[in-house]
Amino acid sequence: MDINDFNKKFSGILEIEMSEPTVSVNGLANQRSGANAGIKKLSLSAEVYEEDADSFRSPTNAELDEVVLERPTVTLRSFGHDVEHVAPDGKRFTARDLLMAVEETERRTRSETEWFGGIDVHHVFFEGLHEAKDGALRVSWGS
């Protein structure tokens, strides 16, 4: 599997629990955090889209164990913040390793984001990893 196959197979939702309840933006479904709110918990729930069934399911261990990147380190970039990750085996990243790296990148950097005066709790749909010109992988988030 390469990064393109990874992006086609995996999606997910970043679940963020804040220290204060989020509020609607202008009465819409969009949510924002309060200016003084902090992140209490954060986790990425990965999913695999089944085109034939038009539904999502949890990934299998075999899918998660597939090698995606043959390199000892990777830099993930999210909202302009970079986090370097070392492959757990020192050689390569599996899909599981990359998904865990995405979650860790957000754990380290999400509190530095800003959306409508608070931490961005709205852009939480994982849409893949895309290589930047400098070799970093940019994490794409949708709403």
Residue labelled with tokens 């970043």:
14
The encoded tokens of residue 87 equal 């492959």
- At 29-88, the pLDDT tens digits run 788 888 899 999 999 999 998 888 888 999 999 999 999 999 999 999 999 999 999 999
Position 10, amino acid: F
Residues 6 or more apart whose Cβ sits within 8 Å of residue 60: none
Q: Are 127 and 140 in contact (CB under 8 A)?
A: yes
The count of domains in the chain is 1
Residue 9 reports pLDDT greater than 80: yes
The encoded tokens of residue 70 equal 């043959």
Residue 114 reports pLDDT greater than 70: yes
The encoded tokens of residue 100 equal 């865990």
Backbone angles phi, psi at 61, to 5 degrees: -60, -40
Q: How far apart are the first and last CA of the chain?
A: 27
What letter would DSSP give residue 118? B
pTM to 2 decimal places: 0.93
Instruction: Give residue 26's pLDDT.
Output: 75
Backbone angles phi, psi at 6, to 5 degrees: -55, -50
Type and span of the H or E element at 101: helix 95-109
Residue 28 reports pLDDT greater than 80: no
Most confident of 55-59, 90-94, 110-114: 90-94
The mean pLDDT value of the chain amounts to: 94
Q: What range defines the domain where residue 133 resides? A: 3-142
Give CA–CA dist 125/141, Å, rounded. 5
Give CA–CA dist 20/15, Å, rounded. 15
Give CA–CA dist 31/16, Å, rounded. 12
